Amino acid sequence: MKLERDFIAPVDTAAVYNRAAAFFTLAGYRQEHGTLKFKRGSAVGSAMSFNPVNWQCEAEVRITPGMYPVCTVLYDIHVDPFEKSITRTLWNEELNRFQAYVSGGELTHFDNAANMARVKNYVVRTIGLPAGLLFAAIFGMVTGTLTADTGASYSQALVGGLAVFVLLSALVILAWSRMKK
């Protein structure tokens, strides 16, 4: 997903450079030496993590000098289409805060925790519940098969497998329902 925003910064070019570096560093990005390119997360984080902070993201700030410099912020965020639909608000909020700070606002503690938690919980709830139930079903079938191999009757193996499935499903649903909404 690529996001881009242009805005006029009512400060000089050096201030934009310094403010961009301060903002993205505080937000957890690593700055490429001597540039206004910033990276956060990793490809593994994009594939495995439910936390948006771990997703691979690259931000680049381009400054067009002038009486008031024009600031162009480019985000290149490596997420799948499912995650893209639920995180657009998160990245837009980060852009809004960056624009406000570069335009002369205060840089306070970077607190995106509420949005990050909301996105993380949404991803876990929509992916975790079906994945947990699928795991419970597979584990129940394996347990039933192993029970049948020990000489138990088919009905005993079926009951054993179903019991494991129900137990694991109950644990998954309990964990899912206790998550903050």
- DSSP label of 33: T
**40 close to 62: Cβ distance less than 8 angstroms:** no
**28 close to 42: Cβ distance less than 8 angstroms:** no
- The model's pLDDT over 82-107, given as tens digits with 9 standing for 90+, comes to 556 667 777 777 888 888 888 888 87
- The model's pLDDT over 54-67, given as tens digits with 9 standing for 90+, comes to 778 888 888 887 77
**2 close to 75: Cβ distance less than 8 angstroms:** yes
The pLDDT value recorded for residue 9 is 83
Name the pTM for this structure: 0.61
Reported confidence tier of residue 31, pLDDT bands at 50, 70, 90? very high
Report the DSSP pairing between strands 30-31 and 37-40: antiparallel
